[in-house]
Amino acid sequence: MQEDFSQEPAILGRDLKDLEKYGSQGCAYLGKVVMSSGESPVLGRKVLVDVSRPHLMLICGKRGGGKSHTISVFMEEMARLDPSIKNRVAAITIDTVGIFWGLKLPAGDVKELKDWDLSAQKTDVKVLVPAGQLNFYKEKGLPVDGAFTLKCSELEETEWMALFRLSWRDPEGILISRSVQRVREKVGTYYGIDDLISAIKTDEESDSNTKQGIVSRLQMVKSWGLIEKEGTKISELATPGMISVIDVSSYRQTVGAEGVKDVIVALVGKKIFEQRMLFRKEEEIRLIKENKRTSKMPLVWLLIDEAHMFMPKDEPNIALPILLEWVRVGRQPGLGLILATQRPEKIHPDAISQCDLFISHRMTSQPDIAAVGALRPTYMHTDLDKLYAEMPRQKGFALVIDDNTERTWMIKTRPRFSWDSSVTASAFLV
């Protein structure tokens, strides 16, 4: 690994042309370069990462290594971009653990921030939680902004089946599909779960057990308040400068509808993709006619913690093909992905092979290290194993492999400005 003692920040993820034109504008302050070995290494110049163009970033590391912290730092930085750039960017974070509301409060531990010449600050993010939990959050005084709901008619047959983990082989799967089609033909796009239930009850081809099975599941879904006639406009999550969080944590273990968080990610990913493709065309026409790159829709970042859940290597998932579209062709329409996982071995290999910025906290599991071993580019001259062994054991250190600068870096991520609600549980009271 090369050492550089100059004080100019290191800018990662940016090619020479952009570097000359934009300098450090539109970058996120991720941390500092590690300059020496040992457990408390000397830290050097700042490390900035380009967020003004779409990238595929993969953040790995074992439990408690600092992945969610790194995602939070990216969100804090996106919220603090210079207004002219911020208004061209939007970010949506899928929160599988229910921790990112902490961004709305300033950090409690200010000592480390002081050491870095930083201060505790809250961050302007919009936190959306399941409708059924909004009151709980509010009663407990947790800072949330509202409920996230899906528009019933936006769920197509395959999404209903995925919600209940059904297939075309299951009579329930066939029944729900037929009912969705019937309702759609009858009422168009403005219908709710009750309309589906009525269609199921009047279905003439299914037996009563199958009908009852699906009706009970739909009633349960209705009780969550997630799927409504109106629903959150997904396009509104991607308005210029907005950083939003969708808390799907309570759907992790939902009995009878295990696929719900997958369906949320699939729908958000699909809608944003479709819209961005259209707006990209508008942008191009303006660029040709007016020589200016403007459009109402910003570049969109999707940040997914525990991404192996949605992009598994060896099982189907409704979100997988959509996220793979983001991975494979997202850069052209302006869709960036930041994926975090503690199990690179479990994630779809394209998420690894296509990433142009790899940020890895400590990893010790050999199968996981082997899975990212495929990344070893020609400009990397040291084995991953060796780099992990050299990495300090404290939290926040990371190895960064950047395809744009064709370099590898050992860094320490900066402390966060905002409240850390992911601190490991402890039995001690204070």
Residues binding ligand ATP (CB under 6 A):
61, 63-69, 342, 395-396, 412-413, 415, 420, 422-423
- Helices 193-201 and 171-187: crossing angle in degrees, nearest 10, is 120
Q: Is 408 helix (H, G, I), strand (E, B) or coil?
A: strand
In the block, tokens 């600092």 appear at: 66
DSSP lists the bridge partners of residue 146 as: 128
The region, left, alpha or beta by phi > 0 then psi within -120 to 50, assigned to residue 407 is beta
**Which is nearer to ligand ATP, 31 or 259 (by Cβ)?**
31
Compute the least distance from the CB of residue 116 to ligand ATP, in Å.
Answer: 9
Q: Which does 153 bind (CB under 5 to 8 A by kind): Mg ion, ligand ATP, none?
A: none
Compute the least distance from the CB of residue 80 to Mg ion, in Å.
Answer: 22
Compute the least distance from the CB of residue 90 to ligand ATP, in Å.
Answer: 23
Q: Which does 69 bind (CB under 5 to 8 A by kind): Mg ion, ligand ATP, none?
A: ligand ATP
**Which is nearer to Mg ion, 67 or 346 (by Cβ)?**
67
Residue nearest to ligand ATP (CB): 396
Compute the least distance from the CB of residue 326 to Mg ion, in Å.
Answer: 21
Query: Are 416 and 107 within 8 A, CB to CB?
Result: yes
Q: Which does 270 bind (CB under 5 to 8 A by kind): Mg ion, ligand ATP, none?
A: none
DSSP 87-116: TTEEEEEEESSS-GGGGGSB-S--HHHHHT
**Which is nearer to Mg ion, 68 or 153 (by Cβ)?**
68
Compute the least distance from the CB of residue 305 to ligand ATP, in Å.
Answer: 7
Q: Which does 93 bind (CB under 5 to 8 A by kind): Mg ion, ligand ATP, none?
A: none
Judged by the rule CB under 5 A, the positions of this chain that interact with Mg ion are: 67-68
Residue 34 neighbours by CB under 8 Å, 6+ apart: 41, 42, 43, 44, 392, 397, 410, 411, 412
Q: Which does 54 bind (CB under 5 to 8 A by kind): ligand ATP, Mg ion, none?
A: none
**Which is nearer to Mg ion, 70 or 206 (by Cβ)?**
70
Q: Which of 224, 222, 257, 219 is nearest to 135 (CA)?
A: 224
Compute the least distance from the CB of residue 322 to ligand ATP, in Å.
Answer: 23
Query: Are 177 and 160 within 8 A, CB to CB?
Result: yes
Query: Are 339 and 70 within 8 A, CB to CB?
Result: no
